[in-house]
Chain A
Amino acid sequence: MSALVEINDLWIEGRSDEQWNPIINGASLSLNKGEVLGLIGESGAGKSTLGLAAMGFTRDGVRISGGSVRFDGIDLVNASAAVKRELLGKRIAYVAQSAAASFNPAHRLIDQHTEAPVQHGVQSKAESQADGIELYRRLRLPNPDEIGFRYPHQVSGGQLQRAMTAMAMSCRPDLIIFDEPTTALDVTTQIEVLASIRDIVEQFDTAAIYITHDLAVVAQMADRIKVLLKGDEVEEAETREMLSSPKEDYTKSLWAVRSFQRKQKAPAIAGATPVIRVKNVNASYGKVPVLHDVSFDIHEGRTVAVVGESGSGKSTAARCITGLLPPRSGHIEFDGEVLPLDYRKRSKMQLRQAQMIYQMADTALNPRKTIGELIGRPVEFYMGLKGAEKRKRVEHLLEEIELEPSQYFHRLPSELSGGQKQRIGIARALAAEPKFIICDEVTSALDQLVAEGILKLLAKLQDSLGLSYMFITHDLATVKSIADEVVVMKDGRVVEHGPKDEMFRPPHHPYTDLLLSSVPEMDPDWLTNLLAERGIDNIGDAAVDKM
């Protein structure tokens, strides 16, 4: 039997800076009917480009420069536009990363659903509409009879993503390309979407290419996994084999990331003064309350991870501590001393003691300043160092963050990689010689390998300088690897608070439990087991709503 999709030695180039640069260098893959292939790689690996090329499609400014793509024997590289149009939507469908942006805001969901079947002459409008409602039901969308008659902006992100999967299914295609369909979703929403997608792909025996950067996700979804690195193929194997015994060094390093774990420090001595004490803080944006009676302590040399999904108030808590958002009531103590609520009223000394590292290093570093100026400013501002002394101090800080001073001193942020930029952000915080640093999602914009380097650096600095961290994150794997204590937040409240080991051991608060159980694991049977254990109605948003 010949394969459904056969890609042979495919080369793709993209146009930038007035020249063609390679994106994919001679990739090959083959996919049989009903099989799911996982494409995995870091940002810039070319996985989306390859996925789209499997549909015979290239974005503007991208071209196929060599090789072949065959779908069911049809040569897609040389096919005319009309031939490709006949296949797209009908036999090959696409599920995009952002469903909110990929649904046309001007039309109802069901009208967009029926478009492909009607235009391709597969079904009449009425048949397709009935079928759409049936698919919505199978994908466990709430109110399946009614939800399709809404406009995209009236439906939540996770539901839209499932509606888009239904839309891709509308012509019962032979192949669906899933392009990071759950990346923008919270973990508890993600698990629901994953379960639905897997279910429906199995039911209709559809072949799929599942593109993602998340190993644990791809482990649940794919029969086979292919690893890409900067447009080059690294290796390909059956999922189980790939997970248990990767061959290439790069793949091994990807797998190993998940194993970095620090030992939890002993809890601080009872009665010791915490570095930061947040006490009964209530805060609101305008009239909308966002924090309700939030209290926690951070002790010297400890890392407290603040965990929660988007909208849980974890970043707001950080804004209250720094004084950017003065709380309505409650107070913040530093070393036993009550801080003024508004940062403008704090002394230079108080400001110096608490520093912040941001999620997006791109927006956290002034693009017009050199590295030397960026790190030198707090050195000069707080320590009063100038000239050679200042330069010496900056060079020392660069050494601390493991960057060669002579090489980086005069560079601009735009000349650095994402991980290097984040290191500069750390150095700038260290330059103030603080006791306490807030790390706001510092690793979530980074690829896993780079993120691990940052976590290790932070751990090293903590040990040598005795720093305290407040580590804001939504990623429980990060919590596991670096935290001493954990604060779980939901809807602006602290739902659970304690040492890490206790948190990861039952009994949990039900929300913590749900959060923990929703984080995909590398075990390919994880999703199956979880569903068997809990039942489809006790995961995801459905479960959150029950609380």
Chain B
Amino acid sequence: MSIWLQIVLALVAIGLGAWVLRFAGQKATGNKPFFRDMPISVAFGYVLGAAAVIWGIGFYFHPGATFFRWAVQGFVGFAIAAYVFRLFGRHVGTQGTKKLFRGMPLTASFGILTILIYAVVAIFAGLIAPYGQEEILGQANVVPGGDVAFGGNPQFPLGTDQIGRDILSRLIYGAQNTVGIAFATTCLAFFLGGTFGFLAATLGGWLDQALSRSVDVLMAIPALIFALLLMTIASVWSTKLGIPLTYFMVLIIAVIDSTRVFRLSRAVGQNIVVMDYIEAAKLRGEGLAYLIFREILPNATAPLLAEFGLRFCFVFLTIASLSFLGVGIQPPLADWGTMVRDLSQFINFAAFAPRVASAPLLAAGAIALLTVAVNFVVDWMLHKSSGLKE
């Protein structure tokens, strides 16, 4: 039977199921509006969703579905952790934090928990990691899992890389290096973009025009492309001046990213500047510093905080991509992007040795997990600050 015929048959079956669902629902509830006004497309959606869930449960017990099982276990594990964390937050802490946790969706509490864990790991990497990040430990290519039968070693729970460094330690130090550098870069980008953005919004005139037009031009070059171009040039400077390339990277990405921050802070600033209370302060005779720091900034914190999260993700992904491409954070510093590139060939063993393939995915997953977490928190913040307008 061809795959297309199977698909068509499945769709027909779901369609029939949808009709039955609606009909049965109408009869069972005595024609309640929920079933009476239900379009067949919506019923189709319900049946399709149910079919997908049933298929997923069946597939979970399929012997070949190792990665699917891991994914489901991971998902459920994180969901439970997030739920427990939220429960904890609702009962411990000040009145304010308790209230915050009460209206929090599970995704956001998952995000906050993950960010906290990353922060702790990054700060105390030296204490947590069993080995040094550059330490070569003799045994190369130890399989993750710590199970001797599969080629693992309990001393190296996540195995070792091709020159014998402990992957777990490198992942932990990676948190410090990758996250730390990304955080510093974002702060620098905010300092630059925020300062110029608010100045442009408050002063207006030629300064605003000059800054805005230059930012327009810089933003017309795609960020990653521009970063790669500048990194090429920086690599020449770096060898010439003897300054590590990583410093140049921080500066380059911060400058590129500050253009985006400039746009936002200028827009936020302009929205605030037209408010009557700013006019009142101007007419009172207040100076520029008072206007920016006492009147404008306190009203800009919410959107800026959300933007900080988004920009951090963007910077973090750009750095990871550069490192993955081999022009970002330089060895011997442990860094997730570089690790993914170095370990990537292990993916090809996935069919017969799933554990071997998990090493590069762990590094890539570490990147994805943090950005997903930050995005969940930002999404929640934006939703909260926009009220319930939707």
A–B touching in complex (CB under 8 Å)? yes
Contact B285 A348 (CB under 8 A): yes
Is A358 an interface residue, CB under 8 A from the partner?
yes
A18 to B99, alpha carbons, bound, how many Å? 13
**At the interface with chain B, which of A128-136, A364-372, A454-462?**
A364-372
Tell me the A306-340 residues at the B interface (CB within 8 Å).
Answer: 322-324
1/0 per position for A353-370, CB-CB distance to B under 8 A? 000101010011111110
Contact B277 A324 (CB under 8 A): no
Q: How many residues of chain B get a CB closer than 8 Å to chain A's CBs?
A: 18
Given contacts A61-B388, A363-B275, A366-B277, contact A343 B283 (CB under 8 A): yes
A346 to B284, alpha carbons, bound, how many Å? 10
Is B73 an interface residue, CB under 8 A from the partner?
no
Contact A358 B283 (CB under 8 A): no
A294 to B33, alpha carbons, bound, how many Å? 65
Is A285 an interface residue, CB under 8 A from the partner?
no
1/0 per position for B23-67, CB-CB distance to A under 8 A? 000000000010011000000000000000000000000000000
Contact A363 B285 (CB under 8 A): no
One of A324, A351, A367 near B285 (C-beta < 8 A)? A351
Chain B hits for A377, CB < 8 A: 284
A432 to B286, alpha carbons, bound, how many Å? 13
Chain A hits for B283, CB < 8 A: 322-324, 343, 351, 356
Chain B hits for A356, CB < 8 A: 279-280, 283
Contact A378 B284 (CB under 8 A): yes
1/0 per position for B272-290, CB-CB distance to A under 8 A? 0001110110111110000
A15 to B36, alpha carbons, bound, how many Å? 24
Contact A363 B36 (CB under 8 A): no
1/0 per position for B229-263, CB-CB distance to A under 8 A? 00000000000000000000000000000000000
Tell me the B281-304 residues at the A interface (CB within 8 Å).
Answer: 282-286, 295, 298-299
Tell me the B77-117 residues at the A interface (CB within 8 Å).
Answer: 103
- Output the least CB separation between A130 and chain B (Å): 37
Given contacts A18-B103, A381-B286, contact A365 B277 (CB under 8 A): yes
Is A272 an interface residue, CB under 8 A from the partner?
no
Contact A368 B284 (CB under 8 A): no
Contact A368 B298 (CB under 8 A): yes
Chain B hits for A497, CB < 8 A: none
A343 to B285, alpha carbons, bound, how many Å? 8
Is A16 an interface residue, CB under 8 A from the partner?
yes
Contact B280 A364 (CB under 8 A): yes
A365 to B277, alpha carbons, bound, how many Å? 5
1/0 per position for B345-364, CB-CB distance to A under 8 A? 00000000000000000000
One of B33, B36, B285 near A381 (C-beta < 8 A)? B285
Is A288 an interface residue, CB under 8 A from the partner?
no
- Output the least CB separation between A505 and chain B (Å): 36
A322 to B279, alpha carbons, bound, how many Å? 10
Is A81 an interface residue, CB under 8 A from the partner?
yes
Is A80 an interface residue, CB under 8 A from the partner?
yes
Question: Which residues on B are within 8 Å of A, measured CB to CB?
Answer: 33, 36-37, 103, 275-277, 279-280, 282-286, 295, 298-299, 388
Which 8 A-B pairs have CB atoms at the shortest separation, nearest pair first?
Answer: A368-B298, A364-B276, A358-B276, A366-B277, A363-B276, A351-B285, A363-B275, A348-B285
* Given A351-B285, A363-B277, 17 other A-B residues pairs in contact with their CB atoms under 8 A: A80-B33, A80-B36, A81-B37, A323-B283, A324-B283, A343-B282, A346-B285, A351-B283, A356-B279, A356-B283, A363-B275, A364-B276, A366-B275, A366-B299, A377-B284, A381-B284, A428-B280
